[in-house]
Amino acid sequence: MFLNVGPSHPAMHGIVQIIVELDGERVLGADVEIGYLHRGFEKESERGPYNNVIPYTDRLNYVSPLINNFGYCLAVERLLDIEATERCQYIRVIMSELSRITDHLTCIGASAMELGAFTVFLYMIKAREWLWELIESVTGARLTISYGRVGGVKADLPEGFAERTRKVLEEVRRVLLECDTLLTRNRIFVDRMQGTGIISKERAISYSITGPFLRATGVALDVRKANPYFVYDRLSFDVPTGGHGDNYDRYLVRMEEMEQGMRIIEQALTRIPSGPVNMDHEGNVLPADVMVDEAKMGRVAGFKQARVRLDPTLEGSTRGYHDAVNAPERRAVLPAKEDTYGNIEGLMSHFKLIMLGHGIRPPAGECYSAVEGANGELGFYVVSDGSDRPYRVRVRPPCFTIMAALPELLVGDMMADIVPTFGSVNMIGGELDR
Protein backbone atom coordinates (compact mmCIF):
# COMPACT_ATOMS: atom_id res chain seq x y z
CA MET A 1 0.00 0.00 0.00
CA PHE A 2 0.95 3.65 -0.39
CA LEU A 3 0.86 5.81 2.73
CA ASN A 4 1.20 9.57 3.03
CA VAL A 5 3.38 10.69 5.96
CA GLY A 6 3.35 14.45 6.50
CA PRO A 7 3.36 17.34 6.16
CA SER A 8 0.80 17.28 8.98
CA HIS A 9 2.45 14.33 10.72
CA PRO A 10 4.10 15.65 13.93
CA ALA A 11 7.43 13.94 13.18
CA MET A 12 7.60 15.71 9.79
CA HIS A 13 7.47 19.14 11.49
CA GLY A 14 4.90 20.41 9.03
CA ILE A 15 7.26 20.97 6.12
CA VAL A 16 8.06 17.59 4.54
CA GLN A 17 5.87 15.03 2.82
CA ILE A 18 6.97 11.42 2.42
CA ILE A 19 4.89 9.06 0.30
CA VAL A 20 5.98 5.57 1.33
CA GLU A 21 5.29 2.29 -0.42
CA LEU A 22 4.76 -0.42 2.19
CA ASP A 23 4.65 -4.19 2.26
CA GLY A 24 3.11 -4.71 5.66
CA GLU A 25 5.31 -2.41 7.75
CA ARG A 26 8.42 -2.79 5.56
CA VAL A 27 9.30 0.28 3.44
CA LEU A 28 9.74 -0.67 -0.22
CA GLY A 29 10.01 2.86 -1.62
CA ALA A 30 9.82 6.50 -0.53
CA ASP A 31 9.14 9.71 -2.41
CA VAL A 32 10.27 12.77 -0.40
CA GLU A 33 8.64 16.11 -1.23
CA ILE A 34 10.09 19.39 0.09
CA GLY A 35 9.20 23.03 -0.57
CA TYR A 36 6.54 23.71 2.05
CA LEU A 37 8.53 26.55 3.63
CA HIS A 38 10.11 28.28 0.64
CA ARG A 39 11.47 31.64 1.83
CA GLY A 40 13.10 33.12 -1.25
CA PHE A 41 16.28 33.87 0.71
CA GLU A 42 18.60 33.91 -2.28
CA LYS A 43 16.45 36.30 -4.33
CA GLU A 44 15.78 38.58 -1.36
CA SER A 45 19.53 38.88 -0.81
CA GLU A 46 19.82 40.73 -4.14
CA ARG A 47 17.37 43.45 -3.10
CA GLY A 48 19.40 45.40 -0.56
CA PRO A 49 22.89 46.24 0.69
CA TYR A 50 25.27 43.55 1.93
CA ASN A 51 24.54 43.94 5.64
CA ASN A 52 20.80 43.75 4.97
CA VAL A 53 21.24 40.03 4.23
CA ILE A 54 22.27 39.28 7.82
CA PRO A 55 18.73 39.14 9.32
CA TYR A 56 17.77 36.74 6.52
CA THR A 57 20.67 34.44 7.42
CA ASP A 58 19.28 34.18 10.97
CA ARG A 59 16.37 32.33 9.47
CA LEU A 60 18.32 29.76 7.49
CA ASN A 61 19.19 27.30 10.25
CA TYR A 62 17.21 29.13 12.89
CA VAL A 63 18.42 26.72 15.60
CA SER A 64 22.05 27.85 15.21
CA PRO A 65 21.74 31.29 13.57
CA LEU A 66 25.11 32.65 14.70
CA ILE A 67 26.96 30.22 12.45
CA ASN A 68 24.89 31.45 9.49
CA ASN A 69 25.71 35.08 10.32
CA PHE A 70 29.44 34.49 10.50
CA GLY A 71 29.52 32.23 7.45
CA TYR A 72 27.96 34.92 5.28
CA CYS A 73 30.12 37.69 6.76
CA LEU A 74 33.26 35.63 6.13
CA ALA A 75 32.35 35.22 2.45
CA VAL A 76 31.85 38.98 1.97
CA GLU A 77 35.03 39.75 3.91
CA ARG A 78 37.00 37.48 1.60
CA LEU A 79 35.49 39.32 -1.37
CA LEU A 80 36.66 42.59 0.17
CA ASP A 81 40.02 41.07 1.17
CA ILE A 82 39.66 42.21 4.77
CA GLU A 83 40.07 40.30 8.03
CA ALA A 84 38.28 40.76 11.32
CA THR A 85 40.31 41.62 14.42
CA GLU A 86 41.75 38.78 16.50
CA ARG A 87 39.35 39.44 19.36
CA CYS A 88 36.42 39.40 16.94
CA GLN A 89 37.52 36.05 15.56
CA TYR A 90 37.63 34.55 19.05
CA ILE A 91 34.17 35.96 19.76
CA ARG A 92 32.88 34.39 16.56
CA VAL A 93 34.32 31.02 17.56
CA ILE A 94 32.80 31.18 21.04
CA MET A 95 29.37 32.17 19.79
CA SER A 96 29.47 29.62 16.94
CA GLU A 97 30.19 26.78 19.35
CA LEU A 98 27.46 27.88 21.75
CA SER A 99 25.13 27.83 18.74
CA ARG A 100 26.33 24.38 17.66
CA ILE A 101 25.64 22.94 21.12
CA THR A 102 22.11 24.39 21.19
CA ASP A 103 21.50 22.84 17.76
CA HIS A 104 22.65 19.38 18.84
CA LEU A 105 20.64 19.62 22.07
CA THR A 106 17.53 20.41 20.03
CA CYS A 107 18.17 17.60 17.53
CA ILE A 108 18.82 14.86 20.09
CA GLY A 109 16.16 16.09 22.51
CA ALA A 110 13.42 16.24 19.88
CA SER A 111 14.43 12.90 18.36
CA ALA A 112 14.42 11.24 21.79
CA MET A 113 11.00 12.70 22.53
CA GLU A 114 9.60 11.28 19.29
CA LEU A 115 10.81 7.85 20.44
CA GLY A 116 9.11 8.29 23.80
CA ALA A 117 12.01 9.60 25.91
CA PHE A 118 10.23 12.74 27.05
CA THR A 119 12.43 13.20 30.12
CA VAL A 120 15.53 13.58 27.94
CA PHE A 121 13.76 16.24 25.88
CA LEU A 122 12.96 18.26 29.02
CA TYR A 123 16.52 17.95 30.33
CA MET A 124 18.10 19.03 27.04
CA ILE A 125 15.72 21.94 26.53
CA LYS A 126 16.59 23.06 30.06
CA ALA A 127 20.29 23.06 29.09
CA ARG A 128 19.51 24.86 25.84
CA GLU A 129 17.69 27.54 27.82
CA TRP A 130 20.84 28.31 29.82
CA LEU A 131 22.85 28.65 26.62
CA TRP A 132 20.22 30.85 25.02
CA GLU A 133 20.39 33.14 28.04
CA LEU A 134 24.13 33.49 27.42
CA ILE A 135 23.51 34.23 23.76
CA GLU A 136 20.84 36.78 24.67
CA SER A 137 23.27 38.57 27.02
CA VAL A 138 25.63 39.08 24.06
CA THR A 139 23.32 39.65 21.10
CA GLY A 140 20.15 41.00 22.71
CA ALA A 141 18.05 38.17 21.26
CA ARG A 142 17.72 34.43 21.66
CA LEU A 143 17.03 33.12 18.17
CA THR A 144 16.92 35.77 15.44
CA ILE A 145 20.04 37.47 16.66
CA SER A 146 21.45 39.46 13.67
CA TYR A 147 24.74 39.72 15.55
CA GLY A 148 27.29 39.43 12.74
CA ARG A 149 28.51 42.36 10.67
CA VAL A 150 30.72 42.44 7.62
CA GLY A 151 34.12 43.12 9.17
CA GLY A 152 33.11 42.39 12.75
CA VAL A 153 30.23 41.85 15.15
CA LYS A 154 27.54 44.10 16.57
CA ALA A 155 28.99 44.41 20.07
CA ASP A 156 31.64 43.02 22.38
CA LEU A 157 31.09 40.36 25.04
CA PRO A 158 29.46 41.80 28.17
CA GLU A 159 31.26 42.11 31.46
CA GLY A 160 31.49 38.84 33.37
CA PHE A 161 30.58 36.75 30.34
CA ALA A 162 33.50 34.32 30.68
CA GLU A 163 32.67 33.45 34.30
CA ARG A 164 28.97 32.95 33.55
CA THR A 165 29.79 30.80 30.53
CA ARG A 166 32.10 28.51 32.47
CA LYS A 167 29.42 27.96 35.13
CA VAL A 168 26.79 27.22 32.48
CA LEU A 169 29.06 24.72 30.73
CA GLU A 170 29.51 22.87 34.01
CA GLU A 171 25.73 22.57 34.32
CA VAL A 172 25.36 21.51 30.67
CA ARG A 173 27.92 18.74 31.23
CA ARG A 174 25.85 17.45 34.16
CA VAL A 175 22.75 17.41 31.98
CA LEU A 176 24.57 15.55 29.20
CA LEU A 177 25.79 12.98 31.70
CA GLU A 178 22.20 12.45 32.88
CA CYS A 179 20.98 12.10 29.29
CA ASP A 180 23.83 9.73 28.46
CA THR A 181 22.79 7.58 31.42
CA LEU A 182 19.16 7.62 30.28
CA LEU A 183 19.77 6.91 26.59
CA THR A 184 23.12 5.47 25.52
CA ARG A 185 22.65 2.00 27.01
CA ASN A 186 18.87 2.07 27.19
CA ARG A 187 17.67 -1.15 25.56
CA ILE A 188 14.61 0.40 23.90
CA PHE A 189 16.55 3.39 22.54
CA VAL A 190 19.45 1.25 21.28
CA ASP A 191 17.08 -1.21 19.56
CA ARG A 192 15.33 1.67 17.78
CA MET A 193 18.56 3.37 16.69
CA GLN A 194 21.12 0.65 15.98
CA GLY A 195 20.99 -0.78 12.48
CA THR A 196 18.42 1.73 11.18
CA GLY A 197 18.98 4.50 8.66
CA ILE A 198 22.28 2.99 7.52
CA ILE A 199 24.36 4.63 4.82
CA SER A 200 27.89 3.65 3.77
CA LYS A 201 30.73 6.13 3.61
CA GLU A 202 30.93 5.68 -0.17
CA ARG A 203 27.25 6.51 -0.67
CA ALA A 204 27.44 9.42 1.77
CA ILE A 205 30.37 10.89 -0.14
CA SER A 206 28.60 10.36 -3.47
CA TYR A 207 25.66 12.40 -2.16
CA SER A 208 28.07 15.16 -0.94
CA ILE A 209 26.84 14.66 2.62
CA THR A 210 28.92 16.41 5.30
CA GLY A 211 28.78 17.04 9.04
CA PRO A 212 27.80 14.55 11.77
CA PHE A 213 25.90 12.49 9.20
CA LEU A 214 29.11 11.86 7.22
CA ARG A 215 31.33 11.53 10.26
CA ALA A 216 29.07 8.78 11.62
CA THR A 217 30.16 6.66 8.63
CA GLY A 218 33.82 7.00 9.65
CA VAL A 219 34.93 9.93 7.47
CA ALA A 220 36.64 12.52 9.71
CA LEU A 221 35.84 15.55 7.53
CA ASP A 222 35.32 18.81 9.41
CA VAL A 223 35.66 22.23 7.76
CA ARG A 224 37.19 23.60 10.96
CA LYS A 225 40.09 21.15 10.50
CA ALA A 226 40.20 20.74 6.72
CA ASN A 227 39.99 24.47 5.87
CA PRO A 228 40.48 26.36 9.14
CA TYR A 229 38.86 29.77 9.48
CA PHE A 230 38.76 32.34 12.30
CA VAL A 231 41.12 30.92 14.97
CA TYR A 232 40.12 27.25 14.91
CA ASP A 233 43.64 26.25 13.86
CA ARG A 234 44.94 27.58 17.21
CA LEU A 235 42.52 25.50 19.29
CA SER A 236 42.74 21.84 20.22
CA PHE A 237 39.70 19.65 19.60
CA ASP A 238 38.89 16.21 18.26
CA VAL A 239 36.63 15.22 15.36
CA PRO A 240 34.44 12.33 16.59
CA THR A 241 33.53 9.64 14.07
CA GLY A 242 31.42 6.50 13.98
CA GLY A 243 31.81 3.26 12.09
CA HIS A 244 28.40 1.99 11.02
CA GLY A 245 26.64 5.03 9.57
CA ASP A 246 23.40 4.31 11.43
CA ASN A 247 21.15 6.42 13.62
CA TYR A 248 22.91 5.32 16.80
CA ASP A 249 26.32 6.42 15.53
CA ARG A 250 24.89 9.79 14.53
CA TYR A 251 23.55 10.18 18.08
CA LEU A 252 26.96 9.31 19.59
CA VAL A 253 28.80 11.70 17.24
CA ARG A 254 26.54 14.62 18.19
CA MET A 255 26.87 13.87 21.90
CA GLU A 256 30.67 13.93 21.63
CA GLU A 257 30.62 17.05 19.43
CA MET A 258 28.88 18.93 22.23
CA GLU A 259 31.72 18.03 24.59
CA GLN A 260 34.28 19.12 21.98
CA GLY A 261 32.35 22.37 21.46
CA MET A 262 32.55 23.12 25.19
CA ARG A 263 36.26 22.33 25.08
CA ILE A 264 36.72 24.86 22.25
CA ILE A 265 34.75 27.53 24.13
CA GLU A 266 36.81 27.11 27.29
CA GLN A 267 40.08 27.40 25.36
CA ALA A 268 38.84 30.47 23.48
CA LEU A 269 37.71 32.18 26.69
CA THR A 270 41.18 31.61 28.15
CA ARG A 271 43.09 32.82 25.09
CA ILE A 272 40.90 35.67 23.83
CA PRO A 273 42.96 38.88 23.74
CA SER A 274 41.61 41.85 25.60
CA GLY A 275 40.47 44.71 23.44
CA PRO A 276 41.88 48.22 23.71
CA VAL A 277 40.05 49.64 26.72
CA ASN A 278 40.81 53.28 26.09
CA MET A 279 41.12 55.45 29.18
CA ASP A 280 42.93 58.73 29.68
CA HIS A 281 46.62 58.72 30.60
CA GLU A 282 45.76 58.34 34.30
CA GLY A 283 43.34 55.49 33.77
CA ASN A 284 40.22 57.58 34.35
CA VAL A 285 36.96 57.24 32.50
CA LEU A 286 35.70 60.73 31.74
CA PRO A 287 32.08 61.88 31.46
CA ALA A 288 31.50 63.36 28.02
CA ASP A 289 30.59 66.84 29.30
CA VAL A 290 33.79 67.04 31.37
CA MET A 291 35.88 66.04 28.36
CA VAL A 292 34.24 68.74 26.21
CA ASP A 293 34.82 71.43 28.86
CA GLU A 294 38.46 70.39 29.26
CA ALA A 295 38.95 70.48 25.49
CA LYS A 296 37.52 74.03 25.31
CA MET A 297 40.19 75.14 27.73
CA GLY A 298 42.91 73.38 25.70
CA ARG A 299 43.62 70.83 28.43
CA VAL A 300 43.76 67.80 26.12
CA ALA A 301 47.02 66.15 27.19
CA GLY A 302 46.47 62.41 27.38
CA PHE A 303 43.13 62.54 25.58
CA LYS A 304 44.41 60.76 22.48
CA GLN A 305 42.88 57.41 23.50
CA ALA A 306 40.43 58.61 26.09
CA ARG A 307 37.32 56.61 26.70
CA VAL A 308 34.29 58.74 27.42
CA ARG A 309 31.35 57.74 29.58
CA LEU A 310 28.42 58.47 27.29
CA ASP A 311 24.68 58.43 27.62
CA PRO A 312 22.93 55.36 26.04
CA THR A 313 22.05 57.24 22.84
CA LEU A 314 25.63 58.19 22.11
CA GLU A 315 27.11 54.94 23.32
CA GLY A 316 24.79 52.72 21.27
CA SER A 317 25.97 49.12 21.22
CA THR A 318 29.65 49.96 20.87
CA ARG A 319 30.40 50.64 24.55
CA GLY A 320 33.84 51.87 23.75
CA TYR A 321 35.05 48.53 22.32
CA HIS A 322 34.30 49.15 18.66
CA ASP A 323 37.90 48.86 17.47
CA ALA A 324 38.41 45.55 19.27
CA VAL A 325 35.63 43.70 17.45
CA ASN A 326 35.58 45.35 14.03
CA ALA A 327 38.14 45.48 11.24
CA PRO A 328 39.67 48.95 10.70
CA GLU A 329 37.97 49.25 7.30
CA ARG A 330 35.96 52.33 6.34
CA ARG A 331 34.87 50.48 3.21
CA ALA A 332 32.80 48.04 5.21
CA VAL A 333 32.50 48.86 8.90
CA LEU A 334 30.23 51.55 10.32
CA PRO A 335 32.06 53.94 12.62
CA ALA A 336 31.46 53.81 16.35
CA LYS A 337 28.40 55.75 17.50
CA GLU A 338 30.72 58.11 19.35
CA ASP A 339 32.33 59.07 16.03
CA THR A 340 29.05 59.25 14.11
CA TYR A 341 27.59 61.70 16.61
CA GLY A 342 30.85 63.34 17.62
CA ASN A 343 32.83 64.32 14.51
CA ILE A 344 32.19 65.14 10.87
CA GLU A 345 34.46 62.37 9.53
CA GLY A 346 32.50 59.72 11.43
CA LEU A 347 29.20 61.20 10.25
CA MET A 348 30.35 61.20 6.61
CA SER A 349 31.67 57.64 6.89
CA HIS A 350 28.36 56.50 8.38
CA PHE A 351 26.28 58.06 5.61
CA LYS A 352 28.56 56.77 2.85
CA LEU A 353 27.94 53.21 4.09
CA ILE A 354 24.19 53.69 4.58
CA MET A 355 23.05 55.82 1.63
CA LEU A 356 21.44 54.08 -1.31
CA GLY A 357 23.95 53.60 -4.11
CA HIS A 358 26.95 53.85 -1.79
CA GLY A 359 27.41 51.29 1.01
CA ILE A 360 29.78 48.33 1.02
CA ARG A 361 31.09 47.85 -2.51
CA PRO A 362 33.30 44.80 -2.99
CA PRO A 363 35.24 44.70 -6.26
CA ALA A 364 33.57 42.75 -9.04
CA GLY A 365 34.24 39.07 -8.55
CA GLU A 366 33.00 35.97 -6.80
CA CYS A 367 33.83 34.00 -3.68
CA TYR A 368 32.76 30.69 -2.18
CA SER A 369 33.37 30.40 1.53
CA ALA A 370 32.39 27.55 3.83
CA VAL A 371 32.10 27.11 7.59
CA GLU A 372 31.21 24.05 9.66
CA GLY A 373 27.53 24.36 10.46
CA ALA A 374 25.78 22.16 13.00
CA ASN A 375 24.63 19.87 10.16
CA GLY A 376 27.75 20.04 8.02
CA GLU A 377 29.40 22.30 5.46
CA LEU A 378 27.49 25.58 5.26
CA GLY A 379 28.70 27.42 2.17
CA PHE A 380 28.00 30.89 0.79
CA TYR A 381 28.77 31.72 -2.83
CA VAL A 382 28.65 35.51 -3.23
CA VAL A 383 28.97 37.28 -6.58
CA SER A 384 29.71 41.02 -6.72
CA ASP A 385 29.23 43.25 -9.74
CA GLY A 386 30.93 46.18 -8.01
CA SER A 387 27.68 47.75 -6.79
CA ASP A 388 26.46 48.20 -3.21
CA ARG A 389 24.29 45.08 -3.27
CA PRO A 390 25.08 41.43 -4.03
CA TYR A 391 24.55 40.34 -7.62
CA ARG A 392 23.99 36.78 -6.38
CA VAL A 393 24.03 34.95 -3.06
CA ARG A 394 23.90 31.16 -3.24
CA VAL A 395 23.70 28.99 -0.14
CA ARG A 396 24.90 25.42 0.22
CA PRO A 397 22.67 24.18 3.06
CA PRO A 398 24.08 21.03 4.69
CA CYS A 399 20.73 19.28 5.19
CA PHE A 400 19.76 19.56 1.50
CA THR A 401 22.14 16.81 0.39
CA ILE A 402 21.08 14.58 3.29
CA MET A 403 17.43 14.97 2.29
CA ALA A 404 18.38 13.86 -1.24
CA ALA A 405 19.64 10.60 0.27
CA LEU A 406 16.66 10.10 2.59
CA PRO A 407 14.69 7.72 0.31
CA GLU A 408 17.71 5.41 0.17
CA LEU A 409 18.00 5.50 3.96
CA LEU A 410 14.36 4.55 4.50
CA VAL A 411 14.02 1.66 2.03
CA GLY A 412 14.32 -1.70 3.74
CA ASP A 413 13.56 -0.40 7.24
CA MET A 414 10.26 -0.56 9.08
CA MET A 415 7.58 2.12 9.03
CA ALA A 416 8.44 2.99 12.66
CA ASP A 417 12.09 3.55 11.69
CA ILE A 418 11.16 6.57 9.59
CA VAL A 419 10.85 8.67 12.75
CA PRO A 420 14.39 8.17 14.20
CA THR A 421 15.99 8.29 10.72
CA PHE A 422 14.30 11.55 9.77
CA GLY A 423 15.11 12.94 13.22
CA SER A 424 18.80 12.14 12.77
CA VAL A 425 18.85 14.15 9.52
CA ASN A 426 18.14 17.25 11.65
CA MET A 427 16.42 18.87 8.69
CA ILE A 428 15.86 22.60 9.18
CA GLY A 429 13.23 23.94 6.80
CA GLY A 430 14.61 27.48 6.74
CA GLU A 431 17.84 26.44 5.05
CA LEU A 432 16.40 23.52 3.08
CA ASP A 433 13.71 25.61 1.35
CA ARG A 434 15.81 28.74 1.12
| Residue burial 124-161, b: 16+ Cβ < 10 Å; e: rest | bbebbebbbebbeebbeebeebbbbbbbbbbbbbeeeb
Please give the average per-residue pLDDT across 36-48, as a whole number: 90
Cα 372 to chain centroid distance, Å, stands at 9
Lowest mean pLDDT among 231-235, 340-344, 358-362: 340-344
Length of the chain: 434
State yes or no: pLDDT of 291 exceeds 90: no
Q: Are 151 and 329 in contact (CB under 8 A)?
A: yes
State yes or no: pLDDT of 56 exceeds 70: yes
Band (pLDDT 50/70/90 cuts) for residue 283 is very low
Residue 63 pLDDT: 93
Lowest mean pLDDT among 147-161, 167-181, 260-274, 384-398: 147-161
Q: Which CATH class is domain 2-274+361-432?
A: mainly alpha
Q: What are phi and psi of 173, to 5 degrees?
A: -60, -40
The chain-wide mean pLDDT, for the chain, equals 89
Band (pLDDT 50/70/90 cuts) for residue 279 is very low
Band (pLDDT 50/70/90 cuts) for residue 277 is very low
pLDDT digits (tens, 9 = 90+) for 203-213: 999 999 999 99
State yes or no: pLDDT of 126 exceeds 60: yes
Please give the average per-residue pLDDT across 224-235, as a whole number: 95
Residue 289 pLDDT: 63
Q: Where are the domains of the chain?
A: 2-274+361-432, 286-354
Distance CA 156, CA 61 (A): 23
Please give the average per-residue pLDDT across 316-328, as a whole number: 68
Please give the average per-residue pLDDT across 182-189, as a whole number: 95
Residue 354 pLDDT: 85
Distance CA 364, CA 378 (A): 23
pLDDT digits (tens, 9 = 90+) for 356-409: 778 889 999 999 999 999 999 999 999 999 999 999 999 999 999 999 999 999
Whole-model pTM over 0.75: yes
Q: Are 230 and 205 in contact (CB under 8 A)?
A: no
Q: Are 5 and 418 in contact (CB under 8 A)?
A: yes
